[in-house]
Structure 1
């Protein structure tokens, strides 16, 4: 008891320390309460989208409550909040510049809906699927790098939210979850080009019909929302004459997550159909035509 009385008397004689300790207690209460509510939501909410959103809302409110508590304790009056916030911001802008931009970036991402968890984006040269957005970082499951095509590399990348202000953000799925892809097919000169074109277009039209139907309405909404011209979503074919073959360029629309599989499927079916033409259509490879062979003069030892 004597020890407790001594502590209380000592705190009473040092009001600044007493105020600071009370402030730390309030901060601890806010943090514990925030973590408790987030854990409660994780256990009792089955829908992953609602669970994620609810946790982020609680996290934001926790930060706001900490700011209010801080301003109240160190200014002594909630009415001085605007002045305190101004002084506080001016004092730490230089040293915490990156952090401030990151927090501002997170607010901007949520309000403007630049991207959200589940979107595939490319930002600051890094491409991947967004798996989490917090108040400072965006977490992405990386795509590409040493792995070919649009496959996961296995690395999780944490990127500062400040990058949304520093360069373009490429979103593969926000308004139009389809992309255009293409590949070249080399056909040997002398082949039946009409049959080759029919094979490619028939297979592409049959395999991509679902993507074409799904993209029509989506593209209409994009045209209605942005200043952009209408586009052809059906498969198209262009022919180019080269030194070695006739190049058929197939352009088509595909789901952004199924680009690699779709290209594999189209190549497989087209190759199988060409093999069944019994030589009327033949694929080409690089050829070299020798126009003139130089004359070589060989002298024997007897002639020397």
Structure 2
């Protein structure tokens, strides 16, 4: 009893210190509760998507509760919320500007739906697949850099959420999970152009038929949602004349995650079909033609 009386007397004599101690106890309790609930949900929820969103919701509401408790302890009443926020903002806006912008960015990302885990995006000149979004950072598996095409580099990049306010965000998969790609095919002058065109279009149409059929309904949704004109999703071929060859430009639609493989497959199949034409269609390459060799007179003296 004497111990409790001493504690009570100390609390009465040191109200500020006791208030801080009570706040620390509440803060630790809330943080432990967040950690416990996140671990519980990770074990009990089998679906990855639901588990991820549930953990983020627990984290979000836990931190909101911590902010309310903080204001309650240090202002004496939640009614002083606006005053407390004003005083805090005046003191820390400059020093914590990036942090505040990152937190605001996380709210913007979640509520507006700029991107979500699983999307492929490019932001601040960094391209990759989003693997996590927290209150401060977006984590991506990087694509490109020292590897060609859309292959993973192996680096995991953490990017501040503040960048959603500082520049464009390119989303490869939101609303329309397909992209247009193209490559050039050099055809030698003197080849049968009609046969060459039929080969390229036939191979492209057969190879990309699944992408075309799936993309039509997806594109119709985009047209209905945004102010945008309709577009041709079937493979198209454009021909131009150069100094060295006739250039075929094949443009087509493809799954955003299969650009490299699809381009490889199309090149391989087109080359095989051209080989079957018995030189009616020939692929061109950069060559040097010597028109005339000048005469050189060598005289012995």
TM-score in same-fold range (> 0.5): yes
- Please report how far the alpha carbon of residue 230 of structure 1 lies from its aligned counterpart in structure 2 after TM superposition: 1.0
Matches within 5 A, 1:116-155: 116-155=116-155
Pairing 1:205–2:205 present: yes
> Matches of residues 264-303 of structure 1 in structure 2 within 5 Å?
264-300=264-300, 303=301
Tell me, in whole angstroms, the C-alpha distance in 2 between the residues paired with 1:3 and 1:22: 18
Q: Name 2:214's counterpart in structure 1.
A: 214
State the Cα deviation string for residues 181-213 of structure 1 (Å, max 9, x = none): 011111111111111110000000000011001
- Tell me, in whole angstroms, the C-alpha distance in 1 between the residues paired with 2:279 and 2:295: 37
Cα distance, 1:86 vs structure 2: 1.8
Summarize the alignment of residues 227-242 of structure 1 with structure 2, pairs less than 5 Å apart: 227-242=227-242
> In the aligned structure 2, how far is the partner of 1:174 from the partner of 1:231?
17
Aligned to 2:49: 49
C-alpha distance in 2, partners of 1:289/1:31?
A: 76
Cross-structure match for 1:186: 186
Q: Secondary structure at the match of 1:228?
A: coil
TM score, norm. by length of structure 1: 0.96
Alpha-carbon distance between aligned partners in 2 of 1:225 and 1:10, rounded to the nearest angstrom: 65
- Map Cα deviations across residues 232-273 of structure 1 (whole Å, 9 max, x no partner): 100000111111111111000000001111111111111111
2-structure distance, mates of 1:248, 1:299: 52
Mean CA deviation greater in 149-158 or 78-87: 78-87
Shift of 1:297: 2.9
- The residue aligned with 1:40 is 40
Structure 2 residues without counterparts, runs of 5 or longer = none
Which SS does the other structure have where 1:240 is aligned?
A: strand
Output the TM-score relative to the length of structure 2.
0.97
> Where does residue 246 of structure 2 map in the other structure?
246
The count of corresponding residues between Structure 1 and Structure 2 is 301
1:190 is paired with a residue whose SS is: coil
After superposition, the C-alpha distances for 1:24-67 in whole angstroms (9 at most, x for unaligned) are 00000110011111111000000111111111111111111111
Point out 4+ residue stretches in structure 1 off by more than 4 angstroms.
Answer: 1-8
Distance apart, 1:11 and its partner CA: 3.3
Question: 1:16-27 alignment to 2 at 5 Å?
Answer: 16-27=16-27
Q: Secondary structure of the residue that 1:140 maps to in structure 2?
A: strand
The worse-fitting range, judged by mean Cα deviation, of 200-209 and 223-232 is 223-232
Q: Which runs of 5+ in 1 are unaligned?
A: none
Residues 78-117 of structure 1, C-alpha deviation per residue, up to 9 Å, x if partnerless? 1111211122122211111010000000000001100000
Q: Secondary structure of the equivalent of 2:121? A: strand
Matched residue, 2:97? 97
